[in-house]
């Protein structure tokens, strides 16, 4: 299985704030799609006893994850959102103030959380950038690009949500085995989801 690569993007801020981000009353299509996908995955986790326990042991509150999803915006660099500049998305000046597409081209990641340093404090924003790896992945057998599967997309989105909800970097997520593919190995998608309803034995 491919390991989807994720990371945070750290911008260098200018001295002044740009001001508030213009209110976007209607979430963009990418945000709606991503929220729907990851909320479906969280619901599946909640409905699977073993899975739910694994998250509980890791002290991950599924309701906090849901709340974080609703607060997070997603941007697809393959579309027009790729032309948005860091300052326009985050509401703070950056130097250089690059577009999301340029930022994505500078990192080897299938998705990343926009972040910046304010004084010496690292601020992780609630803006997630989806790069080309969100759509296509090299096939392990021959290296040719194939469409990213729905499960891979959901795991990738959930990984970014874990970064934001827990306020942790990859080192922490990996050291706690919270890399989504490892964590979710406990949470195999069941084709008979109705068999793993709330309250079912954890030994399933």
Query: Where does this chain bind Zn ion (CB under 5 A)?
Result: 6, 170
Measured between alpha carbons, how far is residue 171 from residues 2, 3, 125, 162 in Å?
19, 15, 18, 13
Closest approach, Cβ 185 to Zn ion, in A, equals 17
Q: Which residue's CB is nearer to Zn ion, number 93 or number 162?
A: 162
Nearest residue to 23 (alpha-carbon basis) of 73, 76, 67, 69: 73
In the bound state with Zn ion, the residue whose beta carbon lies nearer, of 6 and 87, is 6
When CB distances to Zn ion are compared, the closest residue is: 6
Output the smallest distance, CB 175 to Zn ion, in A: 12
Whether 96 contacts 151, CB under 8 Å: no
What is d(CA 3, CA 179) in angstroms, rounded to the nearest whole number?
9
Output the smallest distance, CB 192 to Zn ion, in A: 31
Angle at 122 between CA 120 and CA 127, to 5 degrees: 150
Q: Judged by CB, which is closer to Zn ion: 87, or 125?
A: 125
In angstroms, what is the minimal distance from the CB of 49 to Zn ion? 27
Nearer to Zn ion, 93 or 173 (CB): 173
């Amino acid at each position: 299985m491919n390991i989807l690569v994720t990371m945070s993007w750290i911008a260098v801020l200018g001295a002044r704030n740009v001001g508030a981000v213009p209110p976007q009353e209607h979430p963009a299509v990418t945000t709606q799609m991503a929220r729907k996908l990851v909320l479906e995955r969280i619901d599946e986790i909640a409905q699977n006893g073993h899975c739910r326990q694994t998250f509980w042991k890791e002290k991950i509150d599924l309701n906090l994850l849901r709340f974080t999803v609703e607060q997070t915006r997603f941007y697809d660099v393959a579309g027009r959102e790729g032309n948005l500049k860091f300052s326009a998305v985050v509401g703070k000046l950056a130097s250089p103030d690059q577009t999301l597409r340029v930022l994505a081209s500078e990192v080897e990641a299938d998705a990343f959380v926009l972040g910046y340093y304010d004084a010496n404090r690292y601020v992780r924003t609630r803006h997630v950038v989806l790069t080309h790896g969100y759509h296509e992945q090299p096939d392990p057998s021959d290296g040719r690009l194939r469409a990213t599967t729905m499960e891979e997309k959901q795991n990738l989105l959930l990984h970014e949500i874990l970064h934001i909800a827990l306020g942790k970097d990859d080192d922490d997520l990996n050291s706690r085995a919270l890399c989504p593919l490892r964590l979710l190995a406990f949470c195999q998608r069941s084709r008979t989801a109705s068999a793993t309803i709330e309250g079912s034995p954890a030994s399933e």
